[in-house]
Amino acid sequence: MHLTLKFLGDISREQVEAILAALRTALSEQPTLHVHAQGLGAFPNLKRPKVLWAGLRGEGLVILQEKVESALVPLDFPREDRGFTPHLTLGRVRSLRGWEQVFAVVRQHEHAQFGDSAIDRVTVYQSTLRPDGAVYSPLGTVPLQQA
């Protein structure tokens, strides 16, 4: 599981070190965050679901995302047009067949509490899409300050 702070698209190996350097600078004083997973939902909505998610809440999440966003603008990564919605992707909906059962579970856990976790690093991942799902390979990590 991971929280996407910024989707970079296709990048070259040469860009990875510049990205990590920019993140090290931007996050040099960023403390570890404590987050809480709460609620289930779907993007774009429950009537036309494409992505099933668990929500994340926690002080500083939006600030962390903005620091990442701002650090990468000088490297020609444009700002995201959509607002930031902290979430963990649980799965992708490829078909609405059987959705009624999933929908019932989502509605039952719309406000459920799932637990707490710490965000103590930002990692740049390479995502390789395969028929059985995405495979994520870390390209580099920037640790956050321990609180």
Active site residues: 2, 87
Helix, strand or coil, per DSSP, at residue 66 = helix
Question: CA distances (Å), 55 to each of 7, 35, 86, in order?
Answer: 18, 10, 6
Distance CA 136, CA 128 (A): 6
Q: Give the DSSP letter string of 90-113.
A: EEE----TTHHHHHHHHHHTTT-E
8 Å CB contact between 112 and 30: no
d(CA 16, CA 108): 42
